[in-house]
Structure formats: structure tokens, C-alpha cells
Chain A
Amino acid sequence: MLPKCFVNIDDYSREDIFRILESAARFKQQPNRDLLQGKVCATLFFEPSTRTRLSFETAVNRLRGRIIGFSDAATSSSTKGESLKDTIMMVSNYADLIIMRHHLEGSARYASEISPVPVVNAGDGSNQHPTQTMLDLFSIYETQGTLENLTVTIVGDLKYGRAVHSLIQGLSHFSPTFNFVAPEELHIPDKYKVFCDQKQIVYNEFTDFSPESINSADILYMTRVQKERFTDLMEYEKVKNIYVLHNDMLADSKENLRVLHPLPRVKEISQDVDDNPKAYYFQQARNGMYTRQAVICDLMGIAVD
């Protein structure tokens, strides 16, 4: 039988998601535990991502597990032309779990099919990054006390944003209402609108970052509008300052509103928001570590009390 793997947020049911979130909450209370004593985890980063790698490695270290791996394909044998299959087969001889980031889409699914040990997808190209979604869900659950019936306003690059697409899928179990705020060139792809329609999820689309879209929200999920995504640079110049959140824009927002961002942030959240108690993006990033501890233990069949 294939080992359990975490490749896509869709691999996890509503019950699976709650099981992970409850376990992550226990890690948040006590992150240092001996649960991975004697275990070796491999972090295979064929594509560099310092933020994600540090979060995973800290998660393993706080559980007393040991880490092997590489942080850049240049230091792996894939530069010698070794196939992904061979790398996975070789590493699975040594490690009890593989955490992998790769620039090719579908690489994590393939690795999960050939690996005799569990595989966690830490990002496969522009396809999936499911632990990001899990930490987003944890942060929403933690700050709202529920995942049900929330209004979530998502702002910025909704066309290419991998985190956004997975968040829509992850929240789809919980009857959300979405406000999609994006420039014309980066609006939400039709397939996600069809997905929402099929799941009977209500959504509104805006091209302006209006007070209405902020003040109706329980969660304001900001993302980066990247210059390189635009075919028409004039268009970028027009919109680059529209999707920026300033502190005074939160004046009439709901008391329970929290501002999330998958980070790194550039200019889309002004620094004056950081001191507002509604800003939650740094805690959100920290939650990534607890959520990853929960995912790793879940895949290895380790109970968390």
C-alpha cells in the first residue's frame, strides 16, 4: 500500500482538516516534544525557498527529529542529470519522511507514487503548496473560532496566486462568501468561479479595493501584485497603488477582522498596519511551524496528546 502523503489540499477531507488543526493547536501550546526522536526527515529543495524550508526544519527540530537534504538543486545530483525517481528512491533509503519543493508541476504527486515513505509537498511549481493552505486555515480558525460561514476578501493577484487558489479549495468545505478584489489583468480564473458555482459558494468580484469589500469581511487576505505578471506595464502603473492596504482603511472594519498575507510582503500592506491588532500575518507565518508539525506527525501516524 502506498504511504499516506500530503500533495494537494484536496487530498484532505473536512474531517482530516479538523484533525490537523486540532493537533496544530496542541503544538502551539507546547511545540517542543520528543515525538520524532530517532527519526530522519529529508528536506529536498530542488528550488530554493528559505522561508518554507526554515519553517519545516524548525518543525522537525522542535520534535527532536534529524534532518538531511539540500536547499538548492545545484547541490543535488539532479544537476548531474539524475531523474527525480532515482533521487526519491535513494533518499527514501535513508529518511522516514520526505519534504519536497520542486519547480516542476506534478513532481510531488509523482514522488508520492514512487516513494515508500510519506511525501509532503512543499510547493510544486505554480501548482500546489498545501501546508500554506493548512496554516491559512489554522490562522482563520484560531482568530475566528470557526471556519463556517465567514466572509473572506481576497485582494491582489488572483490569477496566478497559488496560495489563493488553494485557499478557495480549502475553504470550500465551510460555506464561505468570497469577495475577489483584483485588477482586470489578474482577475480570478473562470475555473475557480465554476468551482464556486458548483459548490454553491457566493462570491463577488471587484476591481476597486472598496471600503465595502473591507468592512464586510471577517478575513482580509492580501497578496502581492507582481510587476512581472503584467503584459502591459502601463496597466501595472495604473493599478500598483490601488491594492495597497493602509491602516486608516481598517477604521470601520469588523471587530473580529484579521489581515492575513502569505508573505513575503512588499508594498501591498503599508507598515502602519503592523501595529494594528487586526494585523495577523506574522503570527500566521509562525502558525506555519505548528501546522507543519501536525502534518508531519499525522503522516507518520504519531498521536499528539
Chain B
Amino acid sequence: MRKELQVAALENGTAIDHIPSEAVFKVVSLLQLQKLSNRITIGNNLKSSKMGKKGIIKVSNKFFREDEINRIALVAPNVNLNIIRNFEVVEKKKVVLPDEIIEIVKCNNPKCITNNEPMRTRFHVIDKEMVELQCHYCELKIKKEEIELIAES
């Protein structure tokens, strides 16, 4: 039986596979894809044998830096990254949550200095498995489901 591709194949670029459906647009935002002029294909609510439903993002002619791509570990820690050259997967990668997250996450404490002063937020990742963060400034701990990303401007 012919296996049909759910999203068109990529000649050169990055394919991000196995994104939880609810995280697809957060990944778009974390990677700032809305600012790119490259060809981008986004598929969501696709069938997945592993996850039931999943999302895929394919970006032509774009190879992300490690610190850019690792940001998405916050919302999609188990994605597969495929680096594609000439229609072939030349490298497979996993994302890794960094020890520190700067400028991406908003502190949930309205009385935190970061919400009242024009400054960057900074969080320590205190539990990589459960994805728990702690604000470097007010020391509030934030669980994965409470993570709020800074709104894109």
C-alpha cells in the first residue's frame, strides 16, 4: 500500500515532527516563524500512531541554532527534529531544555520586578523532567502547565 505523506516533502530545511497538537502554535511563536519569509508548512491534528494527534512544522532552507531550537522544549519536550538536505534526512535531533531560560517566559507573579520594570525575565530550570521553573528574581516556582510565554510584539 502506498504511504501518503501528510505534509509535502522538504528539499532542504528543518522538519519538526511529533509536536503535541495543542503546542503547535506556541512552537511557531517561540521560533518566531511569523517573522520568516521562508516557505513554511504547518500541519496540525494529523494522525499519529504514537500520540493520537500531532503537529508537524516544515521550514524550507532554515537550520536553527541550538539555543533557538531548544526553546521549544518548554512546550514540546519530545519533538523530533529532522535536518533535511536534498530530500534526505541527514541528521535527527532531540531538543534539550537549557538550565536557564531568558526572555521567553513571563513571571506569573504580578508583584515580580520583571513585570514592573523594562527588563528581561530569567528563570532557572529546577526540574528538567517535570519542566519546573523558578524565577531568578522573585523566586516563584512555575509548573509546566502554568508557563506563560511573553506575548510576541
Contacts and interface: CB of A to CB of B under 8 A. Distances in A.
Contact of A127 (B107, B119, B138): B138
Interface string A269-281: 0000000000000
B111 A110 contact: no
Contact of B109 (A84, A105, A191): A105
A304 B19 CA distance: 60
A272 B112 CA distance: 41
A105 B118 contact: no
Contacts of B145: none
B72 interface: no
Contacts of A128: 139
B135 interface: yes
A125 interface: yes
B138 A105 contact: yes
A84 B138 contact: no
Contacts of A125: 111, 138
Nearest to A10: B139
Contacts of A83: 117-118
A222 to B, nearest CB: 25
Given A83-B118, A85-B119, A107 B113 contact: yes
Interface in A129-172: none
Contacts of B140: 105
The bracket for how many chain B residues form the interface is: 10 to 19
Contact of A104 (B111, B118, B141): B111
B14 interface: no
Contact of B137 (A103, A106, A126, A191): A106
A105 B112 CA distance: 5
A28 interface: no
Given A105-B138, A127-B138, A110 B118 contact: no
A66 interface: no
A240 interface: no
Given A83-B118, A85-B119, A110 B113 contact: yes
Contacts of A124: 113, 138
Given A105-B138, A125-B138, A84 B117 contact: yes
Contacts of B136: 106, 109
Most chain A beta carbons < 10 A, residue from B113, B116, B117 = B113
B119 A104 contact: no
B117 A127 contact: no
B118 A106 contact: no
Given A84-B117, A125-B111, A106 B135 contact: yes
Contact of A110 (B109, B117, B139, B141): B117
B60 interface: no
23 contacts: A8-B139, A83-B118, A84-B113, A85-B119, A102-B113, A103-B111, A104-B111, A104-B113, A104-B116, A105-B109, A105-B111, A105-B139, A105-B140, A106-B107, A106-B112, A106-B114, A107-B137, A109-B113, A110-B113, A124-B113, A125-B111, A127-B138, A191-B141
**Shortest Cβ-Cβ A-B pairs, 5 listed:** A106-B137, A105-B138, A106-B138, A106-B113, A107-B113
Given A85-B117, A107-B117, A125-B138, 8 more contacts: A84-B113, A104-B116, A105-B138, A105-B140, A106-B137, A109-B137, A125-B111, A128-B139
